[in-house]
Structure 1
Amino acid sequence: MMTASTAPASSVPPQHRAPAGAFAPVPLRWVGPLRVSGNAAEGDIEVPLATYESPLWPSVGRGARVSRQVDGGITATLVDDRMTRSVLIETADAAAALAAVRSVDDRLDDLRALTRTTSRFARLLAVRHEICGPLLFLRFEFTTGDAAGHNMATLAADRLLAHLLETVPGTRYGSISANYCTDKKASAVNGILGRGKNVTADILIPRQTVTGLLHTTAARIEHLNVSKNLVGTVLAGGIRTANAHYANMLLGFYLATGQDAANIVEGSQGITCAQDRDGDLYFSCTLPNLIVGTTGNGKHLPAAEDALRRLGCREERPVGDNARRLAALAAATVLCGELSLMAAQTNPGELMKAHTRIERGGGDPHAH
C-alpha cells in the first residue's frame, strides 16, 4: 500500500505538495536565564523553547528564577557519552552464535582500527551482545564528537558488520539495524547501558525559596514525587522512567536547536528525585539518553545556528565539548520545567488556572 510519504511526487495532488524549502513555523521563546554549573556548562544562560504549549515558557521560567536564588544554581553532571547501533547476524544455532561472539571479542582492537577509517571522530568504545537462538545481536558503542552520531554510528556499524561477515565463519547478514540500539523507541536497554549523553541535573533549594517562589514545601513535593512519579509510573507500566513531563521541555529544546525531535522518545525516559532535607528541597532529574549534537543535519539552518551560537555551543573547544555543553543545558532546562510543574501540582487548581489563563484567556505567558 502506497502512503503519502512513499508515493512519487507526481502522484500527490498539487494542493497537497509542500513548496521546496517550506518550513512549519513553531512559536519560539527564550526563557531564563537559568544558572548552571558542573562539568560541562557554567553560567547564567537563556535557553530557547519552540512549542505550541505556551504555558511551558513561564513554567520553565519559574524554575529558572529558582536556579538564580541558589549559589551555583543547577549542577549538571555529565556522567557518560556514547552513541550506539545494533546489528543482527544470523547463525545456525546458539552455539555458533556464541562462537561468533568470542571471535568478535578476540579482534576488538582490529574493529577499533577499522572504525577509525570510517570517520575522523568515530571511536569504538565497546561491543555488547545478546543471543536468542540462532540470532546474534551486536550493540556497537561509539563516541561521535560533536555530532549526535546517528549516521556516523550507522556508517561505522555497516563497515564492521561487513568485515565480520567476511571473516567470521558461519555468519550471515540479518540487518544493519536490530532494535537493540534502541533508536526512538522506549526500552530498558538504553537506560541500563546508555545511549547519547547521560546527564543528571540537581539543585538544593533553601526552604524560603521553596515557599516564596514555588508556593509549596519540600515535604509536599517529596510526597507527590513518590506517589505520582514513582508509584503512579509503576502502576502504568513505565519503562526505566519516573517523571512528570520531561518530553515537554526536551521537544521544545530539540526543535529550537536543530535536533532530531523523535529522539525525545528515549530522551524523556528519566527519573526525578525529590528529598526534604530539613525543609530545604533537593531536586534532581536524571536523563541517561540525551541524544543531541551541535554539528550535522539541521544544525546549519539559520534558526538552529543562531540558537546554538547564543547557547555558547559554537565555541572553539575540544572535540565533543560543545555537544556535551548542549546536553547539560538541556538537562538543566528539563529540571526547571519539572520542578515548576511538580510544585504547581501540590496545590489544588493551580495547574489548570495557569493553563486556562494563558491558553484560553490570552494571558501574558511571561506573567506566571
Structure 2
Amino acid sequence: MRKINFSAGPSTLPLELLQKAQDELLNYQNKGFSIMEISHRTKIFEEVHFGAMNNAKKLYGLNDDYEVLFLQGGASLQFAMIPMNLSLDGVCEYANTGVWTKKAIKEAQILGANVKVVASSEEDKFDHIPSVEFSDNADYAYICSNNTIYGTQYPSYPKTKAPLIVDASSDFFSKKVDFSNIAVFYGGVQKNAGISGLSCVFMRKDMLERSKTKNIPSMLKYAVHSENDSLFNTPPTFAIYMFALEMQWLLDQGGLEAINAKNEQKAKTLYECIDQSGGFYKAHAKEGSRSLMNVSFNVAKNADLEPVFVKEAEEVGMIGLKGHRLLGGIRASIYNAISLEQVQTLCEFMKDFQKKYS
C-alpha cells in the first residue's frame, strides 16, 4: 500500500506517471530499449527534450522572448550562476525571506557582487513576506517565491523596473504567473514537476546577452547552454523524461489555472483545520503570507507532542511530516500531486490526535 507522502522534496509524484515510467522503463514506446539507455543526440531523445521545453512554455503562456534551459546542480547552483552571468557594475538587490535567499546572498557575496539586502523578515523568524521595493537601476532584483521551511509565499510578485529574478523551486508549475517584469524564473523540478537532478530555467533573451560578455567557465555560462539547446554536455536524460511526463500531465489536468484552484482548496482545508483547533495547532506563517505548497505548524499546546504526532501519522500511512531541523514542528507539503482527499485524511488524523491528547 502506498503511503501519503507529504515530503518537502523530493516529493510525491502522480501515481499514473510512475506507472507509465514503469511500463516504459525497459521498452520505451515499444522501441526495444529504455529511454535511459539511448544517446541524448538521437532524434528519439530530442523529441522528449524539446517537447518538454515546448510544453513548459505553453503552461506559462510564454512566447519567444524567453528560452528554456535544462541545467544540473539543482537550484543551489543557480545561486552562483546568476551573479556570475547577470551582475554588471551596479548593485544586486535581494529580498531575504529565509534559508534559500540567505544562501543565494552568500554565493553572490563570495563572487564579489555588490549585494544589497533591501528587505528581510529574519527578525520575525521569517513568518511573513516583507514589503519590498527594489531600485529601478539595480542589476537585478531577486526573490524566492515560496519558502519550504517557513511556509511563506509571495501572494504576488513585486513590480520592478530592474530585471526580476525568481527562485520558484517550491511552487514551480503550481499556478499562472505574470511574467511582465520577470527576467529569470527558475527552480529545481523535484517538488512539483519531476524528479531530482534537473533544474529548469526560463530566461528572457536580453539576459542571455549579458551572459555572452562574461569570461566564465563554459559549463557555468547561460549563453553556452542556450546556444547548445541545453545539450552542451550529457543532460540528466531520465529526469528530463520524467519532467516531460509531468508537463503533459499538467496540461491534461487543465493547465496551471486548474491546478491552482485545486491547490487553493487543499491549502484552505488544511489551514482551516489548524485555525479552528482552538489553539491546539498554530501555523508558523502569518495570514497574507501563507504558502499553498508548504504548511508549517506546531502543536502549540505542547511541543513534546510533535514527535508523537509524526510517529503516529507514520503508523497510519502518512510520511514526511517532520518539520525542517531549523524550525522544528510539523510540515505538510501539499504539492500538485497531493489530492484534496489526502489532505482531508490528514485533517481527520489531526482532529483525532487533538481529541486524544487534549
TM-score, structure 2 length as denominator? Answer: 0.28
TM-score, structure 1 length as denominator? Answer: 0.28
